[in-house]
Structure 1
Amino acid sequence: MKNKYMPTAFSLYLNYFVHGFGVIILAQNMNFLAKQWGTNTAGVAVVISSLGIGRLIVLFVSGALSDRFGRKPFVLLGTATYLLFFAGIILSKSVAIAYVFGVLAGIANSFLDSGTYPALMEMFPDSKGTANVIIKAFISGGQFILPLLISFLISNGLWFGWTFILCIIILGLNGIFMLMAGKFPQVSEIKKEEKNETKKKVSDTRANFWFDGTLFILYGYISQATFYLVSQWLSEYGEKAAGMSATGAHALISYYSVGSLVCVFVTAALARRTVKEISFLSVYTLISFVSLLAMYIFPNPVICSVMSFVVGFSAAGGVMQLGLTVMADFFPSGKGTITGAFYTAGSIASFTIPLFTSMMASNMGNIILFDVFIALAGFIITTLITLRYRRLFRKNRLRGAKNEDSSN
């Protein structure tokens, strides 16, 4: 709490609370938006895919530019662009116009990511993994609360757009605070810290840029795809495949979000006890695979409710943020660029997954089965990353021990 960046960090986390709304707000309002835009749920799914395009357009470039110009400008750009998205969606009257604002949401998310993740790693250099995982707690908080708010609006016959207005208010006030009082590490401090990290890690570790980098890029895609797919279609699956009521099906997202919140606290507690970030990756992806498989094989209300919590814990509880932190261990120079590359892969998933699933919308079981195979691929890749990590950093420790012996 004595860290001078704590107020700014909380402001950064609050942006991601609203982002938690933004991730699922279109899917949670599918029927209302389809009516407003004169389309069907498949049409809304196409608009949802536009968020991935927006991320893809600017994420890698904005990550590299944040290394050069600092983190604050990109956080402010992200906040302003997100405001345009929430306002534009409730004013849109067609899929084409909504698609444009969906692209803006993806751009906003990219700006936030390129400024926020590197900033938090620089604000809290001794607890980078925990600082990044807490982002997921705020995202999950938003994803937990939004379905409850929507259920309240529906049960009281109120306009669905009030949740969009709430997002505009929170982002507007938070943006003013960030503009006036936000404090970030200076670019010169960042470069000095990265140079020290490079001396300590890269010179001894010798990570293979193409092999290790490719593994992380693939994991960036798969980790995003796993939880993004289930977060978008879980309610529909519960209602159409498991025979749940509309209210019960919406509650699945809340169970999913509670699971992700619990995982954040469990992971943070274990990380504080010196459990390394790499230790979580393959375990969590295996749990994701098993829980999704159980949901597919046994599509009933009880199993869906329990497994919604479990898949939220394992796939959406910060495992992607942990993957980014581990990637920074492999490649410590240029955190903004690394963030851009990692999340660009995720943005491709955000774009392609809704397109794939929109073609499967007539059979909810096929959508979840698709996610089962994605989670299995994630387990294979994280196992390879874990083996590479242990091999590389074991060499690092052995080399350090030999150097110490020779000096003595």
Structure 2
Amino acid sequence: MNKKYLPSALILYLNYFIHGIGCSILGQAVIKDALAASWGVEAMAITAISAALGLGRLIALPFAGPLSDKLGRRISTAIGSASYAVYLIGLALAFNAGTNGGYTIAYVCAIIGGIANSFLDTGIYPAVGEIIYKTPGVATMGIKFFIAIAQMLLPFALGMAVTTTAAGLTSYNPLFFACGICYIVLLILVFLFPLPDADQKAAGKKEGLIASLKHTHFSLESIAMILIGFTCTGTFQLWLNCAQNFAKENAGWANPSIMQTYYSAGTMLALIVTAFLTRKIKDVRFIVAYPVICLVTMIVVLVSPSQATMTAGAFLIGWAGAGGLLQIATSVCNMLFPKIKGTVTALVMIASSLCNYTILTAASKMQPSQVMLMNIILTGVGVVLGLYVNLRYTKMVEYANEEN
């Protein structure tokens, strides 16, 4: 790696550090309570705002990637940073609006936040891979690490940011404003430092997603892999956004925010341990092993809710659910479907975003215990899909080799 790109890499990673807060903050029970009190809604209704992040991703995914390739990583990252600033500062303004449209403002801002996420992904993922070109896997792991570190620190940040308004409402607006301002600073910095954009023109014109779909034959295995993108996202998103509410109502835990720290610790350790395990164990095995761990964990939590089981559950779901399972599924897709690699990968991510929107929207209308049961069923489906892919793995590898 050229040393002149070190500051650039740090700027890109810091975008994901703030993103770690932005994508998790609405899942915190104390945030839900504060926003619900301001907007006059039930706390679980805030989950629908989190779902809007998935809707924003769905809107942006079809064109964010091509735009990044055509205009460059800098422009894509800048759009993502600017949009994320709108999302976070917009949440603070929505809180202040109260019952005068605050919920609607937040929903629109969350859609913009989802769009921001897509542009950051399509700008920063390839950019850090181009900077740390000798070990692109390490570059991607760095993104997950910065997200996990921010999520681990989030409960402590909430404790420092809490204030009380003149009307007596609990507010976390200082954190929203601070993160939004950080994104504005990062937006400026991304234009001041060099980025080694790949020479996209040299690669020739690439076929778009829609054109690729027109002549792609999907096997049952490829459909299963796409559906795993849906189920594995549901596992960690439902836990991230609703488990703290479950802990409050079913385990009698008044302030379960520390669960976020254990969840993030599990994610960080999983990134390290799984990276070593994949050297000796085939990636495809994790597609069934990790969902089984999640399934057993959630059944135990549902049957015996307590602070101890919720804490252990947060760590295990962070490990097995959010510790790279979606990335492993995508990696297996790339290996097993070499001729439709880009198409299947795009569809896995679209399935992930679709899950984020539909499942969280449904969860916003449920009780926390019902959400936990839905997560168990969804994860169970993921286990079945993982078993099917593993049983068909040898044949799939043979087919992939014939395609090369």
- Do the two structures share a fold, i.e. TM-score over 0.5? yes
For the aligned residues, what is the CA RMSD?
3.1
Q: Deviations over 1:240-261 (max 9, x none)?
A: 1111121xx1111211111111
AA matched with 1:161: N
Task: Give the SS at the match of 1:245.
Answer: coil
Q: Deviations over 1:117-138 (max 9, x none)?
A: 3444555566444433432222
Output the CA distance in 2 between the equivalents of 1:22 and 1:186.
29
How many corresponding residue pairs?
Answer: 383
Q: Structure 1 7/386 Cα, relative in aligned 2: closer, same or farther at 3 Å?
A: farther
Which among 136, 145, 150 is matched to residue 144 of structure 2?
Answer: 136
Q: Structure 1 284/4 Cα, relative in aligned 2: closer, same or farther at 3 Å?
A: farther
Structure 1 position 337, deviation (Å): 5.9
Provide structure 2 residue ranges, at least 5 long, that are not aligned to the other structure. Answer: 208-215
Task: Give the SS at the match of 1:181.
Answer: coil
Instruction: State the TM-score, normalizing by the size of structure 1.
Output: 0.83
Q: Which residue of 1 aligns with 2:16?
A: 16
Asked whether 1:359 is paired with 2:359, we answer no
AA matched with 2:238: L
Q: 1:67–1:337: 8 Å Cα contact kept in structure 2?
A: no
Output the CA distance in 1 between the equivalents of 2:4 and 2:103.
45
Task: Give the SS at the match of 1:218.
Answer: helix
Q: 1:137–1:261: 8 Å Cα contact kept in structure 2?
A: yes
Which among 219, 223, 226 is matched to residue 214 of structure 1?
Answer: 223
Instruction: State the TM-score, normalizing by the size of structure 2.
Output: 0.84
Structure 1 position 265, deviation (Å): 1.5
Tell which deviates more after alignment, 313-322 or 39-48: 39-48
Structure 1 position 332, deviation (Å): 5.5
AA matched with 1:233: C
AA matched with 1:111: F
Output the CA distance in 2 between the equivalents of 1:387 and 1:120.
35
Q: Which residue of 2 aligns with 1:298?
A: 304
Which among 86, 100, 110 is matched to residue 108 of structure 2?
Answer: 100
Output the CA distance in 2 between the equivalents of 1:323 and 1:43.
31
Q: Which residue of 2 aligns with 1:263?
A: 270
Output the CA distance in 1 between the equivalents of 2:393 and 2:129.
20
AA matched with 2:153: I
Which among 257, 260, 269 is matched to residue 253 of structure 1?
Answer: 260
AA matched with 2:27: A
Q: 2:34–2:171: 8 Å Cα contact kept in structure 1?
A: no
Q: Structure 1 250/53 Cα, relative in aligned 2: closer, same or farther at 3 Å?
A: same
Alignment of 1:24-63 (within 5 A): 24-28=24-28, 29-63=31-65
Q: Which residue of 2 aligns with 1:171?
A: 183
Structure 1 position 74, deviation (Å): 1.6
Tell which deviates more after alignment, 58-67 or 369-378: 58-67
Task: Give the SS at the match of 1:367.
Answer: helix
Q: Which residue of 1 aligns with 2:88?
A: 86
Q: 2:251–2:306: 8 Å Cα contact kept in structure 1?
A: yes
Q: 2:338–2:403: 8 Å Cα contact kept in structure 1?
A: no
AA matched with 1:351: Y
Output the CA distance in 1 between the equivalents of 2:372 and 2:58.
25
Q: Which residue of 2 aligns with 1:328?
A: 334
Which among 236, 247, 256 is matched to residue 238 of structure 1?
Answer: 247
Provide structure 1 residue ranges, at least 5 long, that are not aligned to the other structure. Answer: 196-206, 401-408
Output the CA distance in 1 between the equivalents of 2:135 and 2:380.
30
AA matched with 2:113: A
Asked whether 1:370 is paired with 2:374, we answer yes
Q: 2:270–2:323: 8 Å Cα contact kept in structure 1?
A: yes
